Amino acid sequence: MGVNNPKSRLALIALAFLGLGQLGFIAPVAAQNVTYFWSGRLTPESILINAKFSADCSVRAVVSTDANFSTNTYSVAQNAVNSTNNRILSFAVGGLAANTQFYYGFEVNGNLITSAAAQGQFKTPVDGPMSFKFILASCAFNSDHAAYDKMAEHETLFYLNGGDLHYANISTTSVVDHLEAYEDEVLSKARSAAFLKSRPIAYVWDDHDYCGDNAFGAVAGREAARLAYQQYVPHYPLGAGAGDVPIYQAFTIGRVRFIVTDLRSERVSGVTKMGLTQKNWFKAEVLAARDNGQIIAWVSPTSFSGDIADNWGGYTEERTELGNFFRDNDIENMFILSGDAHMVAIDNGDNADFASGVPNTNRYPIFQAAAINNFGSNKGGTYSEGVWTNPFITTGQYGLVTVTDDLDSTVCVEFKAYRVEGVFGSQSTLVTYSFCRTISSNLVTSISDPNKAKLRIYPNPTNGRMTLEFENAGASTSVEILLTDLNGAVLRRTDAKVVNGWNRLSYDAVDIADGYYVLTLNTGTGSFSKTVRIER
């Protein structure tokens, strides 16, 4: 088994195994055969379900619009084999309807498991602008804490964990040790397991769930931690691919682009928290979100305005570089979500400008939400709305983020922080802060004539097939379409017939490799461009 932090053995540990069927080998068709499971990588039409089984077997994931599984969608069948995949399987289920409540379970060796203990649920988002809520939390010293019950009471689309999902502090080179840490510290705990059954997760690690307290960079267990994360955690496609790679990723819900950064496994002490490749990816993601009329939610597991060596306070040159990048590229619509420090803190953005020379007039609100339970800690930074450190290890704190989209030009965001008093205590509200931003509704205006040309590209990200909607004004009957890389090299040049007014064209780039590109339309009234991401 994994090496556990001895402090995590709290008095309520006996509750962790209630109703989870972790009692050894049972017949393959019984509910207990599905030992652990959770879901993630939520999109309007798909879900990823990861599960472990207690015996070698053949399995399909089953998704239905009703809890009785009367009408089902099945994943591809896979074999759970201890000697090849540790009996951990990952099921991608697509073709689902958007904005729909679903239930999921498993068919083991041809038999549908109907027990509620082996079922989960999720709701798909709208394919386009929408209002939604999500839980923001990190730092779970004990995952059988009442904070999970309180988080489950909110009707949220997903759970965003910003690090320290557990405190196993595994530092070995054994992938199995890192895998078992997710089981021992999270998936086998009654409250966290129930919470994770009720909604998908989006998650990036910090230190305790990476390779140990204050661990970073190329430590001995880095490859094992990365491989275990990719096998067990239901995650979005990683920006770096697969294998021994960092776990940064991005996804879109409504008109919010979540950019999730790995600030541990590529870090070089005092030099960089991201590493050059991840930083270039991050900048490209930010520009693409700006160009596509999206609000940016940057998940920075450690405090961007912190002042200690382990957070951004120890990487001031890189922080200034990013601050200058945000300013120079006029990044207007962004907010920052963090964990690590065991405190709730909110800043309106006035204290988060780290650009050098000319200040950045844009403001990026910060929501620091921790700890689910642990002793309090304040790791620096100035926060306009206040700071609340967690008072005791038995006290829980977490955040609720509400995105309200008017489907036109305004998106409003509310940060709300809660404290759960004691293991079975009451809940109170610590602070609430709201802000609104005006966005372009995914429209970019022509450089030459702001009133005569607009462009919309969807879907974006795309698998290579996309639709272009734009307004053509004047006598021009054709447009030139250029696809270039980020350095301006032309990859494709095509012409298309158009009419005066609004046009809709299909554009095919399925033979182009995954990555970021710029698509430019040259019309009789000017040129206008958008960044597109091809992702399969």
| 14, part of any domain | no
Residues 140, 91 share a domain:
no
Total structural domains in the chain? 3
Both 462 and 503 in a single domain? Answer: yes
Same domain for 186 and 302, yes or no, is: yes
- The tokens for 260 are 């999730």
Distance CA 381, CA 305 (A): 5
How far apart are the C-alpha atoms of 293 and 427, rounded to whole Å?
37
Based on the fold, state whether residues 90 and 189 are members of the same structural domain: no
Residues 465/510, Cβ–Cβ less than 8 Å: yes
Choosing from 122, 151, 181, the residue where a domain stops is 122
Identify whether residues 327 and 406 lie together within a single domain. yes
Q: Of the candidates 385, 406, 438, which is a domain's last residue?
A: 438
Looking at the structure, tell me whether residues 59 and 189 fall in a common domain: no
Q: What is the pLDDT of residue 502?
A: 78
pLDDT in tens, the chain (536 residues): 333 343 333 333 333 322 233 333 223 334 458 999 999 999 999 999 999 999 999 999 999 999 999 999 999 999 999 999 999 999 999 999 999 999 999 999 999 997 889 999 999 999 999 999 999 999 999 999 999 999 999 999 999 999 999 999 999 999 999 999 999 999 999 999 999 999 999 999 999 999 999 999 999 999 999 999 999 999 999 999 999 999 999 999 999 999 999 999 999 999 999 999 999 999 999 999 998 889 999 999 999 999 999 999 999 999 999 999 999 988 999 999 999 999 999 999 999 999 998 899 999 999 999 999 999 999 999 999 999 999 999 999 999 999 999 888 899 999 999 999 876 679 999 999 999 998 864 444 333 344 334 677 878 788 899 888 887 776 678 889 999 988 789 999 999 988 887 788 899 999 999 988 889 888 766 777 888 888 88
Q: In this predicted structure, what is the pLDDT of residue 525?
A: 66
300 in any annotated domain: yes
* pTM greater than 0.75 (yes/no): yes
**Same domain? 133 vs 241:** yes
Q: Are strands 256-260 and 295-299 parallel, antiparallel or unpaired?
A: parallel
Is 90 within a domain?
yes
What pLDDT shows up at residue 454? Answer: 64
The domain spanning residue 454 has which CATH number? 2.60.40.1930
The reply to whether 7 falls in a domain is no
Question: CB atoms < 10 A from the CB of 457, how many?
Answer: 21
* Residue 309 sits in the same domain as residue 403: yes
pLDDT for position 167: 98
Residues 413, 335: contact at Cβ < 8 Å? yes
One domain for residues 89 and 118: yes
What is the extent of the structural domain holding 448? Answer: 444-534
Among 74, 107, 122, where does a domain finish?
122
Sequence-separated (6 or more) residues with CB below 8 Å from residue 353: 323, 327, 359, 360, 363
What distance in Å separates the CA atoms of residue 387 and residue 393, rounded to the nearest whole number?
17
CATH of the domain at 67: 2.60.40.380
CA atoms of 497 and 479, how far apart (whole Å): 7
